[in-house]
Chains A and B, each alone.
Chain A
Amino acid sequence: MKHTLAALVENHPGVLNRVASLFRRRGFNIESLAVGTTEQEGISRMTFVVEGDSNVGEQVEKQLYKLIDVLKVSDLSREESIVREIALIKVRSEKNNRRDILDLVEIFRAQAVDITEYSVVIQLVAHPETVDSLLENLTAYSIIEMVRTGRIAMLRGPQAISAPTTEPIELARFHQASGRRPVGELPYVSE
């Protein structure tokens, strides 16, 4: 089973390293990873695809939360979401097959973004399975080069993934003269 997870993270140096290191260490297999900025300054969004059973999905989520720089994690595969990926595919093409290739471009609602005497560069923005399907159709031709972004995803409907806000905590409560952890005086629970 594939899990598509979105994580909002602090845009701090080393965050990608922390996340990648966590996946490596815990043996989670990342199939795809995409990172970019968000509508909020200082927050980046990472989208992962991880292979594993539901327990793996749960562990990935919980382990990610242990990283201080990770603000919010959502498993988008649990809900209705839009999943997209961009692919750029450079195909060898001459006069005799250019029309066929451009037909495929049209059928897949892709775009030919660069055409020369010997090549066509196809751009496709689509669900990863659609990208796979186009690639399969293009195997009849000679693919010179291909690059994919890794998938990004967003929930359908009005709800959004947003970073939590936290109430500031008075430091004096923690760093008392003794340095001892003042357990029992903390607002662990509202009883």
Chain B
Amino acid sequence: MNKITGADIVLESLKKIGIDTVFGYPGGVVLPLYDRWPSHPEVRHILVRHEQGAGHAAEGYAKASGKLGCALATSGPGATNLVTAITDAMMDSIPVLFITGNVARNLLGKDGFQEADITGITMPITKHNYLVMRAEDIAPTFAEAAYIATTGRPGPVHIDIPKDVFIEETVFEWPEQISIRGYNPFPSVNEEEIKTATQLIRRAERPIIFAGHGIIQADASKELIEFAEKSGTPVLNTLLGLGSIPQDHVLSYGMMGMHGSYWANHAASNADLIIGLGMRMDDRALGRFADLNPTANVIHVDIDPAEHNKNIIATTPIVGNVRDVLKILMAQFEPLSHIDWIRWIDELRRDHKDSFKVPDVNELTPQYIESRIAEKIGNEGVVVTGVGQHQMWAAQIMNISRPRQLITSGGLGTMGFEVPAALGAQVAEPERTVWAICGDGGFQMTNQEIATMIDENLPVKMAIMNNGFLGMVRQWQELFYDNNYVSVNMSQPDFVKLGEAYGIKSLRVNDKSEVDNAIIEANAHSGPVLIDFQVEAEGNVWPMVPAGASLNETVETSEQVKAL
């Protein structure tokens, strides 16, 4: 068999795995890899403007498509620039393969030019990582890495390759089988736990479902809806679980948590059975753990057993793929109904609707803009957000009803995620309209990727909710730090001029009456579009669970916060 270079083996391995797109940035030690790229046109390389952008784009790609994403960077600063994106992918369980070059083997550990101990750095922020020291190890490592990244609880896997390993020649042999004795992503479902869970479900009078990201990751949306219908159980979503059930479904009660609805949070607090499905009982979704709902029974289904009893003690922890568990569970009981309970939640919803709707005011509000964008693109569009107020409003208002419709940074809460992630989502879904909902703060962290959009012909629409503030930080300073605004009021460039400097269509909107036309114009345009929405400066996100409070302490106005 012919020997080929390590660089060729990397690219052949990517093809074997099924990776068709790599978001990357070249540099000294990955030059041997780039040198061989023209011979592998099947793997598209998208040149970003910053390695963090490559990482978030790969995440956006993975989240929009369900496929394994891939980002590539050179050694040292290239590799360390990936760290935020790797951590983001870890926190949100996104399958991404991160590849970095490193200095040649004889220079490892010698503090040479652009050396960083990147495997040491990424160890706690990856599902697994590798330093490949021989060309013949490349193919088995890539096979293992892709298997680990995409099975079980998905996550980022990092492969670091010294420069001379790319150059070393060996025979390319793709493994037929894989066997990792310390890794079993297909646990069999415990029958005893299923029995106990079934009894709890049959007995429950006020059951509630917390549907999380796992539903979307496991393609279990259909099963979730069937299970909810058969058991007559209302469904709440975590931020990342939005889209797992349509918002207009009769059993869907929207988002719970720090900025969840009043009724959702009170339903969670008053249930007698909590069924957590593919979610990790996070503090932003549950508030103060001890007081979430101490008397409720808890069935917690997750593929990762370490999530059980970590934050909340489960009456019945079930380890398994949520799709399979739901199928099994559903077969155990006859249809159930909980009319009184649902009526109780419906009444709450009727009485507290105001805090959750688009404010009826003359000023231009992000809520209004986002509701209009949602209306114009429908559920087939893709909404990518940054982090902060605009993100919470998007989650509340944009009618997220399809799995993978909302792409957002949940666990890590990474500002600047929106522009590169939207770019990646657009690569994965060229037929869909992709809108990046940006904060004016986050936008300035990663907006250089507009240049990538132009190079790669990616017609992402960017809506900047420009209030001249770091809005969420300002909201907290207003409510919890006596209006003491410190370092939140920031000057902005002229975003329209900035967009024009990049050569993209750029609009400014100051008034409510211009919103619809701007959105229509943006959607009709074949290239990227930037809209600078000059929104009210000091809007607050309601309702809110103050930090460290429990869900039944949800407040809906500043006055209520001040009265605490």
Interface residues of A (CB under 8 A from B): 9-10, 13-14, 17-18, 21-22, 25, 55, 58-59, 62-63, 65-71, 163-172, 174-181, 183-184, 186-191
Contact = CB atoms under 8 A, between A and B. Distances in A.
A68 B306 contact: no
A167 to B, nearest CB: 7
A22 B124 contact: yes
A21 B323 contact: no
A165 B174 CA distance: 23
Interface of B: 16-20, 65-68, 95, 119-120, 123-124, 127-128, 131, 143, 146-148, 150-151, 154, 174-184, 186-189, 218-219, 304-306, 308-310, 313, 320-321, 323-324, 327-328
B179 A68 contact: no
Given A65-B305, A166-B184, A189-B320, A14 B119 contact: yes
Contacts of B313: 55
Contact of B150 (A62, A163, A167, A174): A174
B66 A181 contact: yes
Contact of A67 (B67, B154, B182): B182
Nearest to B70: A179
Given A25-B124, A58-B309, A65-B306, A187 B181 contact: no
9 contacts: A14-B119, A14-B131, A22-B124, A163-B181, A176-B18, A178-B18, A181-B154, A183-B218, A189-B186
A171 B177 contact: yes
Given A67-B182, A164-B181, A21 B306 contact: no
A45 B154 CA distance: 28
Most buried by B among A14, A21, A175, A183: A175
Contacts of A164: 181, 184
Nearest to A178: B18
A189 B17 CA distance: 25
Q: Which 8 A-B pairs have the closest CB atoms?
A: A179-B18, A62-B306, A168-B177, A168-B179, A188-B321, A179-B67, A188-B324, A71-B182
Given A63-B306, A68-B180, A167-B179, A183 B186 contact: no
Nearest to A183: B219
Given A55-B313, A178-B67, A189-B189, 20 more contacts: A17-B123, A21-B124, A62-B305, A65-B306, A71-B182, A165-B181, A166-B184, A167-B179, A168-B178, A171-B175, A176-B18, A177-B18, A179-B20, A179-B67, A180-B67, A188-B189, A189-B186, A189-B321, A189-B324, A191-B328
B188 A190 contact: yes
Contacts of B328: 189, 191
A140 B224 CA distance: 70
A171 B309 contact: no
Contacts of A170: 176-177
B309 A68 contact: no
Most buried by B among A70, A176, A191: A191
Contacts of B17: 175, 179
Contact of A21 (B123, B219, B304): B123
Nearest to A177: B18
Contacts of B183: 68, 166
Contact of A174 (B119, B146, B187): B146
B15 to A, nearest CB: 9
A66 B306 CA distance: 8
Contact of A172 (B146, B176, B310): B176
B177 to A, nearest CB: 4
Given A65-B305, A171-B143, A178-B67, A184 B323 contact: yes
A166 B306 contact: no
Contacts of A55: 309, 313
B321 A171 contact: no
A166 B181 contact: yes
A20 to B, nearest CB: 10
Contacts of A25: 124
A148 to B, nearest CB: 28
Nearest to B14: A179
Contacts of A18: 123
Contacts of A68: 127-128, 148, 180, 182-183
Contacts of B19: 179
Nearest to A10: B182
A156 B305 CA distance: 28
A101 B309 CA distance: 50
Contacts of A176: 18
Nearest to B65: A180
A178 B176 CA distance: 18
Nearest to B69: A179
A106 to B, nearest CB: 46
A68 B19 CA distance: 23
Contacts of A71: 181-182
Contacts of B174: 171
Nearest to A165: B181
B539 to A, nearest CB: 37
A66 B326 CA distance: 24
Contacts of B327: 191
